[in-house]
Structures are given as structure tokens and as C-alpha cells.
């Protein structure tokens, strides 16, 4: 079961506020391209594809075929990308050795059984194919604005699998770490836009802190907004295993 549920309300909030403009994702486009090395016929699995934003971006950027797998019907209902299959990381609805890469964006913490999911990824990936995991990891939150403004959310992040845990689950399934790098993204063009777009229902760490901690963070953000300058740039990690 996911850490939080993705029902109609959460899905609508996610679609409205978490699908970043592609203009702010140049670094991600470049970083993924380096590892994916897309060619004609490349097939990518987007596991926990959500509303399909990354699947659509990869299709457009890299001209690859992206198969999304997403368990929440409410998320799938808001996605334009196809194919988008109903399915779970612990039992992928795909045959053996049929994909050239797997993309897991901000979903690895939802996998209740990481070891089984890693084995499933080993099963469906061709030998040598990369798993690309985009995630905030415990202890590596310092350059993510959400954790600055809502420090209580760091305690939620500490419950996510850390790099060592992910590495060991994937090692047991036959993968080794190829690289770990922090990749920048423009989350908002200004702090005012960041506040405007922030929706608690779309962020697992904000859903799991107290109302008091959430209100205190929003008050800090609103107080800082009039004097803030520049875009909000976040750095999430890209962990690549092969
Ligand atoms: C924070 S959203 C990220 C969506 C998308 N990857 C993105 O970055 O825009 C997490 C997604 O993981 C999905 N998820 C939760 N548990 C899962 C599981 N066991 N297997 C696959 N996906 C899962 C959720 O339904 C949700 O759509």
C-alpha cells in the first residue's frame, strides 16, 4: 500500500500543481539522456507514472516508447499518456526482458516491498538496462525548498528508504549503483508563484505533518514572499542502477 492514498482529491491536486513546466526541467532532460542513451525502438517503463507528466515529456524529448504503470485509478484518469497500465511495482504487468530502462520518479518511498519491486524490475528489464530513480532521500534534503519552509517534513522524509536501503534492495536483485547526482529543477519562477501553487494534498511529506506545523510553514512562506527574489530551484537526486 502507498504511504498515502491517491484518491480523486489528491490526484486533482497533483495534476494541478506538481506537473512542472518543461522549461524548468532542462537539467533533468540532459541527465536522463546521458543514462538512457535513447535509440529508435527504445522502450521505457515509467513505474508509478501518476498523471503521466514524465511519460509525456520523455516521449517528446527522446522519441522513445514509454509504458506507464500506475496503481491509482484516480491518477490514471487524469493522464493523457498512453499506454498507461493499471499495475503495481511488486507485480508488473509486463513480460520478461521487454524494457530498456525504468524511470521511478518520487515514488520509491511508496513501495511497501522494495525487495520484491527490485526483483520485478530485474525481471522486466533487459540485461544492462538502467533503473533511474528520481527522489528526495533522507539526509539529502538541504537543497529542496519544501523541507526548508516545513522543517517538520524532514521527519517524514527520514521514514523514506535511504540510499543505502535502496542500494541493498537492488543489489540483492542483481543491480549495482552506476551513479548518484543531485539534479536541479526550477520548481517555480518566484517564491510568490511557489506559494500560489503549493497544495498540501499533492505532497506526501506535507500530508503527514501536523496542521500546526503546516500552518507555521505557510506563515513563514507568506512573510518571506514580499522580499524574496529569484526562482525556486530544487535539487532532487538521480540514482542510476544497472
Ligand atoms: C508522488 S506520485 C509521483 C507520480 C509521477 N511519478 C511523477 O513524478 O509525476 C507517486 C505515485 O506512485 C504511485 N504508487 C504508489 N504505490 C505504488 C506501487 N506500489 N507501485 C507503483 N506505483 C505506486 C502512486 O499511485 C502515485 O501515482
Domain that holds residue 89: 8-140+161-187+233-241
Q: How far apart are CA 53 and CA 70, in angstroms?
A: 12
106: its cell numbers: 518520487
Task: Look at residue 212 and tell me if it is in a domain.
Answer: no
In a domain, 124, yes or no: yes
For atom 24 of ligand 1, the residue with the nearest CA is: 48
Q: Which of 87, 107, 161 to mutate to test the pocket of ligand 1 (most atoms within 8 A of CB)?
A: 107
Is 74 domain-assigned? yes
Output the nine-digit C-alpha cell for 233.
Answer: 530551484
- Between the CA of 104 and the centroid of ligand 1 the distance, in Å, is 8
pLDDT at 123: 98
- Distance (angstroms) between ligand 1 centre and the Cα of 213 equals 25
For 98-120, write each residue's pLDDT tens digit. Answer: 999 999 999 999 999 999 999 99
Predicted local distance difference test score (pLDDT) of residue 12: 96
Q: Which atom of ligand 1 is nearest to the CA of 2?
A: 16
Residue 136 domain-assigned? Answer: yes
* pLDDT at 1 (0 to 100): 61
Q: What does the pLDDT look like over 67-82, one tens digit per residue?
A: 999 999 999 999 999 9
Could you tell me if residue 217 is inside a domain? no
Q: Answer yes or no: is 152 within a domain.
A: no
Of 115, 83, 89, nearest to 103 (Cα)?
89
Tell me, what CATH number does 117's domain have?
3.40.50.150
**Close Cβ partners of 211 (under 8 Å, ≥ 6 residues apart):** none
**Residues 8, 116: Cα–Cα separation, whole Å:** 28
Evaluate whether 111 touches 165 at the Cβ level (below 8 Å): no
Q: What's the 63 CA to ligand 1 centre distance in angstroms?
A: 23
**Percent of the chain at pLDDT above 90?**
99
- Count the Cβ atoms, other than its own, within 10 Å of residue 15: 19
Ligand 1 centroid to residue 70 C-alpha, Å: 6
Number of domains in the chain: 1
Sign of the dihedral through C-alpha 135, 29, 197, 189: positive
Q: Which residue has the cell 505557510?
A: 218
Per residue in 32-65, pLDDT tens?
Answer: 999 999 999 999 999 999 999 999 999 999 999 9
Residue 2 lies in a domain: no
Q: What average pLDDT does the segment 200-219 reach? A: 98
Q: Provide residues with CB under 6 Å of ligand 1.
A: 2, 6, 47-50, 53-54, 70-72, 75, 88-89, 105-107, 110-111
Report yes or no: 229 and 183 within 8 Å, Cβ to Cβ. Answer: no
Examine residue 218 and state whether it is found in any structural domain, yes or no.
no
Residue 107 to residue 134: CA distance in whole angstroms: 8
Amino acid at each position: 500500500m502507498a504511504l498515502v492514498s491517491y484518491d480523486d482529491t489528491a490526484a486533482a491536486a497533483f495534476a494541478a500543481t506538481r506537473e512542472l513546466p518543461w522549461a524548468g526541467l532542462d537539467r533533468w532532460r540532459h541527465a536522463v539522456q546521458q543514462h538512457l542513451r535513447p535509440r529508435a525502438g527504445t522502450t521505457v517503463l515509467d513505474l508509478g507514472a501518476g498523471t503521466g507528466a514524465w511519460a509525456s515529456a520523455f516521449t517528446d524529448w527522446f522519441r522513445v516508447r514509454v509504458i506507464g504503470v500506475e496503481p491509482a485509478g484516480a491518477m490514471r484518469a487524469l493522464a493523457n499518456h498512453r499506454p498507461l497500465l493499471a499495475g503495481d511495482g511488486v507485480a508488473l504487468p509486463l513480460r520478461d526482458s521487454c524494457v530498456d530502462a525504468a524511470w521511478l520518479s518520487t515514488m520509491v518511498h511508496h513501495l511497501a516491498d522494495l525487495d520484491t519491486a527490485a526483483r520485478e524490475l530485474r525481471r522486466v528489464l533487459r540485461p544492462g538496462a538502467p533503473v533511474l530513480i528520481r527522489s528526495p532521500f533522507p539526509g539529502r534534503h538541504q537543497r529542496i525548498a519544501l523541507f526548508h519552509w516545513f522543517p517538520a517534513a524532514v521527519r517524514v522524509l527520514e521514514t523514506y528508504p535511504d540510499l543505502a536501503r535502496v542500494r541493498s534492495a537492488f543489489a540483492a536483485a542483481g543491480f549495482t549503483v552506476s551513479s548518484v547526482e543531485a539534479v536541479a529543477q526550477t520548481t517555480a519562477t518566484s517564491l510568490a508563484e511557489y506559494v500560489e501553487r503549493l497544495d498540501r494534498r499533492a505532497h506526501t511529506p506535507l500530508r503527514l505533518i501536523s496542521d500546526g506545523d503546516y500552518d507555521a510553514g505557510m506563515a513563514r512562506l507568506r512573510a518571506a514572499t514580499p522580499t524574496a527574489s529569484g526562482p525556486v530551484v530544487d535539487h532532487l537526486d538521480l540514482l542510476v542502477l544497472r
